[in-house]
Amino acid sequence: MSTLSSSADQQLLAEAKQLGGHKTKRETINEALKEYIRWRKQIEATKLFGTIDFYPDFLEEMERKSQPR
C-alpha cells in the first residue's frame, strides 16, 4: 500500500472508489485530485465576474474578420 493511500481516510477512499466506479485506490485519488483542481479553478474564475468589461461590438468584429472574403 502506498504512503498516500495508507494515510488517507480509508472510509472516504472506499466511498469515493465505489461512487466513482474506480478499480484502484490510485485511480480514485487521481480522479479526486483532478476534480478538486477543476473545482478550485472554477471558484477563482467566479471571482472575475463583474471585473471584466464586455464589448458587444467585439463579437461582431471578430465574426466579420473570420468570414472569407
Sketch the domain layout of the chain as residue ranges. Answer: 3-66
Residue 5 corresponds to which cell in the numbers above?
493511500
At 52 the pLDDT is 76
pLDDT, tens digit, for every residue of 11-53?
999 999 999 999 999 999 999 999 999 999 999 988 888 887 7
For residue 13, CA distances in Å to 4, 34, 40 come to 11, 15, 20
- Rounded distance between C-alpha atoms, residue 3 and residue 19, angstroms: 23
User: Helices marked H in the chain — which ranges?
Assistant: 3-7, 10-20, 25-46, 56-66
pTM over 0.75: no
pLDDT, greater one: 1 or 36 = 36
Chain CA centroid to CA 52, Å:
22
